[in-house]
Amino acid sequence: MRSRIAAAAWILLLAFLPWNPCQAADVLLGERVVFRVPDDAQAAALTARLEALLQSGAAAESIRVGKSAGQTALFWGDEMLVVITAEMGQANSSTPPDLAALWAENLRKVVRSGLLRVDRNRLELPVGGEQVVRVTGLAKGPLEAVPASPNVQVTVDQESGAVSLVGVAVGRSRVDLRRGNGREVVWVHVKDWAGTLPQQVEIEVTGRPAPGQLVAQAALSGTATRSSVQPGCRLLLESGPLELPSVPVEKVMRLELPMAILGGEDYYPVRAKVPVLVRNLPVEPVEANLLLVSNRPERLTQDGILMEYTFTRKEPTRLMYSHLNDLRQRRNLWVNVANPGDEPVRLLVGSTWAGPERNEVHVGQTSARRFLEALALHAGYVVTLPPRSALELAAHDMQPKALVTGFINFRILEGERATVEVRTALQPSQNDGSPLPHLGAPFNPFKIHPHGVFAQPFFELDGEFVVGGDSLVQRYGESPWLIDFETGLPNNGNFGVLYKSLIELRNPDSVTRRVGLYFNPVAGPAGGTFLVDGRVLQAPFRRVNNEALLTEIELGPGESRTVEVVTFPEASSNYPAQFEFRDQEPVSGVPASPSSSLLQAEEWN
């Protein structure tokens, strides 16, 4: 042993003496240059010695600087490699301790690359899927890969060091890699696919035009009806919000959308770009004759069914739901539509919502704006429900104290009936149709949280305003209340009920005049959202009797004009409220100009 140590020390001593660079020979360890020596024979001897130490399992951490007979020396474990003399330090413009430390660090860096290294030691595979692990390192000899169980199949490419792993069956396993004295382990989790995506999807939409956001929603829904999704997994559009173009009436558009089915720990994600063919159908709009309101209980503390109703082809229906998570744990809220019959149902759906978030006022105003924007365009999409099937239309992940408010319009185009359901459950939970109790809360006339089924959910009004005369005031959200025909209880505030007004404006004057349209809360703080001749205008939430100018309408000399105003009592506001037409200051000799205080809905996003 001592003779071998002395030989190694002498070889390394020669390696670090000064030499003519032109005569230097590289000492390689794993194809990396470690030192340089004056001739090839010395380099070969050093290379063999260092490789022998490495293959024996000597660790980089055991390379150190120490003392031998009072002199600075370089050690690998208990073996002394070389004594660093003063002459060696001078030849390298250094001192023996500094030179020894430099050599030790250089040698550690090479050795730390290891006998066997993998580019990753944990991976997930789908059944039938393949991934490659790249193996490197300083170990010599054939590479072996041995799976611990038959659910993983391996193939080794000796030349490149690539190990191919194929998932055979669901489960966890390990693959032991060996080369010489080098050892590594790759942990493998073989998962079932999260589902399957269709090769292509054809969807039908409505709208004048059908907005891009609705097209994306329709594409997702259409893909869902043609996909297979494992329990606990979810279909979604990837790449964040997509800026899709709108589709004009009776036009066709072809898209390719990035879809994914993502799941939990036990499923492997599915991703693909799905070709989508979009057709905009020329469907005439129909007014909903049923209103379903799900707002009692508003504050959710239990799991259960919040609303369930089966409507027929003769009952175009609108659902309004508004609920708050009143616990300190996240909860899910879903809206589903089902076909309980034995024949397919073709259904026109239009859905909008806002939240969940804790700013209740913002949720109420945003949901109202989105609903009226969709109403102005008559926007919707068609879904086909096979017999005895259900489709998830909305899924909300509700943080504690978060509110969500939404609207969904339903109209059966073909088929007899469909069932809408609003359900909720604390997380973790799944929208799997499992039995849940029907939730309810006592009716309290002093707390306005309506619930029920209300017929003919609209009021049609008319009026006339003559410039120079009295202002025209119309209130909404006041008695008479719509009555739930199942329980006889009122919808106090008429939440979700449309108020449609046709107002004739006349200017008998000989000069151009401006008419202002104002919103004013009269029962408590409120916001107001209006559809005025197809344009959405919004007054931010404000205290009682604090009016807001919504818009100004210019009337030329002797001009008459009919203006349509659509509004409704929205969530998180107090009613009744009112809107008013009245004179603005006349303009003589110059055109009328808009006021800087006009409110556009998009300014309050």
Res. 50 pLDDT band, cuts 50 70 90: confident
Give the CA distances from residue 196 to residues 99, 228, 235, 266, 383, in Å, rounded to whole numbers and listed in that order.
63, 5, 10, 15, 19
Tell me whether strands 317-325 and 290-294 are parallel, antiparallel or unpaired: parallel
Give CA angle at 579 (506, 359), nearest 5°.
145
Please name the residues in contact with 223: beta carbons below 8 A apart, sequence gap of 6 or more: 197, 198, 201, 235, 259, 274, 276
Location of each CATH 2.60.40.1080 domain in the chain: 117-193
Least confident of 22-31, 108-117, 466-475: 22-31
Fold (CATH) for 117-193:
Immunoglobulin-like (2.60.40)
CATH architecture of 290-441: Sandwich (2.60)
Are 462 and 472 contacting, i.e. CB atoms less than 8 angstroms apart? no
| CATH 2.60.120 location in the chain | 290-441
d(CA 409, CA 400): 28
Taking each continuous run of H as one helix and of E as one strand, the counts in the chain are: 6, 40
* pLDDT tens sequence across 539-579: 999 999 999 999 999 999 999 999 999 999 999 899 999 99
Beta bridge mates, 325? 300
CA distance 134 to 146: 15
Residue with more model confidence, 596 or 395:
395
pLDDT tens digit string along 284-319? 999 999 999 999 999 999 999 999 999 999 999 999
- Buried residues in 420-449 as b, exposed as e (16+ CB within 10 A): bbbbbbbeebebeeeebeebeeebeeeebb
Q: Where are the alpha helices (DSSP H) in 183-279?
A: 212-225
- The pLDDT tens digits of the residues spanning 419-467 come to 999 999 999 999 999 999 999 877 666 566 899 999 999 999 999 999 9
Query: Do the beta carbons of residue 353 and residue 405 sit within 8 Å?
Result: yes
Half-sphere exposure of 250 (CA within 13 A, CB side): 2
Which token pair is 527? 């916001």
Over range 580-602, report the average pLDDT. Answer: 53
Q: How confident is the model at residue 326 (pLDDT cuts 50, 70, 90)?
A: very high
